Structure 1
Amino acid sequence: MTVADLLDRPLGVLRLSLTARCNLACPYCLPDGQEPSGLLSMEQRLQVAKAAVALGAKSLRLTGGEPLLYKELDELIGALQPLRREGLQEIALTSNGMLLSAERAQQLREAGLDRLTLSLDGTTGTSVAAMAGLADPAAGERALKQVLRAIEHARQAGFDPAQGALKLNAVIQRNRNAEQVLPLAQLCRQQGLELRLIEYMDVGNRNGWRRAEVVPAAEMVRTIGEQWPLEPLGRAGSSTANRWRYRDGRGCVAMVASVSEPFCGDCNRLRVTADGIAYTCLFAAPGSGVDLKPSLAAGRDQGDLEAALDQLWRQRADRYSEDRSRSATPPGAHAEMAYLGG
């Protein structure tokens, strides 16, 4: 069964947050240093995933905070594998890479993780420190080296970038790291990685977002294309990214442009926080989520959970980014991205 919302958008992706904690303090996210109360157990997370798959979700992305801080991660990934027989096609994970050792990467691969996206917002100690909330360029340089090692660990573990199993995310913010667009593109061309450049977004309430600090995707495409000519590949249905191919054959680059080129029209993502609150939009208002814990209580039937998610999705009419682009009214408060899983 595939459930559709009020705008006829089917549920396709579950983004399941495993923790609100992070070992970095990126200023565009600013997570808390501690977990909310009432975290879901591993068994409850499995129930949520099973219910989402029953309603049509084909992809599961494990997020945070920093999901590598979740101690039962490998066990959870292994326990999710039977859902492939019920329609789940891929299990992916987004990480800042700081904790990804060679052993950890191998464990994730053996547990059954299909895709891994790492995050790196600069190629110098100064830019990394500024975007990761680190004390100084020396700390940024150490973090940069850790992420570069993580890329190699992931590759050696079998996450093949040529097959789309390993990609690199970078948030770009004017007056903070906008000069890193070309260096990041160069790094990914050298590494054989697809770079996903993400517009600075008005997520949460802590990052002091201003539209003037958004570097539009079109500007980033222009900057890269002047150095290495590009040809458009377009955006696959329900994808967050527009993709371009380098004409010299050195891979692809992608743009996530939720501010300048909203893609609400075919958004198919359901988000569940680490403490079991379901949201149907990254930019949801505080308190607008649905608490799934009553449906996950001991003795409740799995059908109760499926019914709760079914009702939530059928009532969905979110199109925040499109509404923002048409309105001169300042946006209201949002639920925090560190809880929603990005």
Structure 2
Amino acid sequence: MASVNDQLDRPMGVLRLSLTARCNLACPYCLPDGVEPPGLLTLPQRLAVIEAAVALGVTSLRLTGGEPLLHSGLEDLVAAVQPLRRQGLREIALTSNGALLSGERARTLRQAGLDRITLSLDGASGEAVAAMAGLSGGEPAGEALLAKVLAAIEHARAAGFAPERGELKLNAVIQRGRNEDQLLPLADLARQRGIELRLIEFMDVGNRNGWTPEVVVSAAEMVAVIAERWPLLPLGRGAGSTARRWRYCDRDTADSGGTLAVVASITAPFCGDCNRLRVTADGLAYTCLFAAPGSGLDLRPWLTPEAGQADLREALAGLWRQRSDRWSEERLEVWNTAGPPANGPASAEAPRHAEMAYLGG
């Protein structure tokens, strides 16, 4: 079957596959409840989903959670996916908070065939890290987690994930009133370690994180703060990418740590070329990060021994062909006309979204 386009002529290009809804942290912008959905997909079922997605045009697989390093079969899945490279899969990536990434785990993932790792770190001090990770132990617990993530960066680098080739990056969600004072420290940390920092606007995903427009630090504000300290040259946003990138003017473009990126889903949405299909750990396929809870297509009827791969491909193709999601753009259009709501999405008339830990971010 050839690749398929949705109602807005957007092809399917990226599969974000969640392996678990569990997490070892409790970050306030995600707030996982620690409850694993029943009926998690098996390894053969996950492979069937990935194969069908690749047949429909997916070239990039990103493994997510929750925290995917909690999934004991992670390396087996990465290794089992390798034959699909001959069918068009170009990249296998992992998003992790890094707390569980030991040197041995980084090596086994690389040996299994993982291409890229993105680690998350929302502060450069123990106090900020504790607040943003939901740690009850305060600053000492935050310092311990910070040390683990910094060690994870070096473990990944030693295993062969090269920042200068874009194989190792650092994510940071910035929330006003919590960690906006960490912009310069985080940028400095990333520059010192030669790794691209990706700043992410706090998003209204899920219903538990207390999101309101007032707590969003815009991409423009974040870039301005950093550019005042280190002048930046805009590099733009690649087609299908979530991030706009800048180069530090005091670094050559080939230097590791020479770039900054910002994901601006709130203030500069990129729905126009979004190519992401999301599948939860229990087999629900969603076509938007801001989808309503329970609205995903249950793939399990096509993942039984009796079902065929062709039927699964057609089910996914049918879902994608009817896709017209552009939630972030629609929200911004409303705001540009009437202004953002004073009470945010917690109001009774506001739409509810599936939780981030369930969808895989």
Scaled by the length of structure 1, the TM-score of the pair is 0.99
Deviation of 1:287 (Å):
2.0
The correspondence of residues 281-292 of structure 1 with structure 2, limited to 5 A, is 281-292=288-299
Residue 193 of structure 1: aligned partner = 195
Residue 20 of structure 1: aligned partner = 21
Residue 274 of structure 2: aligned partner = 267
The correspondence of residues 1-342 of structure 1 with structure 2, limited to 5 A, is 1-135=2-136, 136-249=138-251, 251-327=258-334, 328=338, 330=345, 331-342=350-361
SS of the residue 2:246 aligns to: strand
- Looking at structure 1, the residues matched to 99 and 35 of structure 2 have their Cα atoms a distance apart, in angstroms, of 18
Offset from partner CA, 1:285-314 (integer Å, 9 cap, x none): 112110000011121001111011000000
Q: After TM superposition, which residue ranges in structure 1, 4 or more long, deviate above 4 angstroms? A: none
- Looking at structure 2, the residues matched to 85 and 99 of structure 1 have their Cα atoms a distance apart, in angstroms, of 31
Aligned length: 342
Deviation of 1:61 (Å):
0.1
SS of the residue 2:45 aligns to: helix
- Looking at structure 1, the residues matched to 249 and 67 of structure 2 have their Cα atoms a distance apart, in angstroms, of 35
Offset from partner CA, 1:198-257 (integer Å, 9 cap, x none): 000000001010110000000011000000000000000010000000000150000000
- Looking at structure 1, the residues matched to 36 and 109 of structure 2 have their Cα atoms a distance apart, in angstroms, of 23
Offset from partner CA, 1:118-167 (integer Å, 9 cap, x none): 00000001100010000111101100000000000000000000000000
**Aligned-residue CA RMSD (Å):** 0.8
Deviation of 1:33 (Å):
1.3
Deviation of 1:34 (Å):
2.5
- Looking at structure 2, the residues matched to 34 and 154 of structure 1 have their Cα atoms a distance apart, in angstroms, of 29
Between 1:45-54 and 1:296-305, the stretch displaced more is: 296-305
* Structure 2 residue identity aligned to 1:111: A
- Looking at structure 1, the residues matched to 273 and 35 of structure 2 have their Cα atoms a distance apart, in angstroms, of 34
- Looking at structure 1, the residues matched to 3 and 41 of structure 2 have their Cα atoms a distance apart, in angstroms, of 25
* Structure 2 residue identity aligned to 1:260: T
* Structure 1 residue identity aligned to 2:174: I
- Looking at structure 2, the residues matched to 198 and 113 of structure 1 have their Cα atoms a distance apart, in angstroms, of 24
Scaled by the length of structure 2, the TM-score of the pair is 0.94
- Looking at structure 1, the residues matched to 232 and 354 of structure 2 have their Cα atoms a distance apart, in angstroms, of 37
Deviation of 1:32 (Å):
2.1
- Looking at structure 2, the residues matched to 55 and 31 of structure 1 have their Cα atoms a distance apart, in angstroms, of 31
* Structure 1 residue identity aligned to 2:217: V
- Looking at structure 2, the residues matched to 266 and 7 of structure 1 have their Cα atoms a distance apart, in angstroms, of 9
Offset from partner CA, 1:265-300 (integer Å, 9 cap, x none): 000000000000000000001121100000111210
Deviation of 1:326 (Å):
1.5
- Looking at structure 2, the residues matched to 91 and 298 of structure 1 have their Cα atoms a distance apart, in angstroms, of 26
- Looking at structure 2, the residues matched to 133 and 43 of structure 1 have their Cα atoms a distance apart, in angstroms, of 35
- Looking at structure 2, the residues matched to 49 and 301 of structure 1 have their Cα atoms a distance apart, in angstroms, of 14
- Looking at structure 2, the residues matched to 161 and 96 of structure 1 have their Cα atoms a distance apart, in angstroms, of 17
Unaligned stretches of 5+ in structure 2? 252-256
SS of the residue 2:169 aligns to: strand
- Looking at structure 2, the residues matched to 32 and 287 of structure 1 have their Cα atoms a distance apart, in angstroms, of 16
Residue 254 of structure 2: aligned partner = none
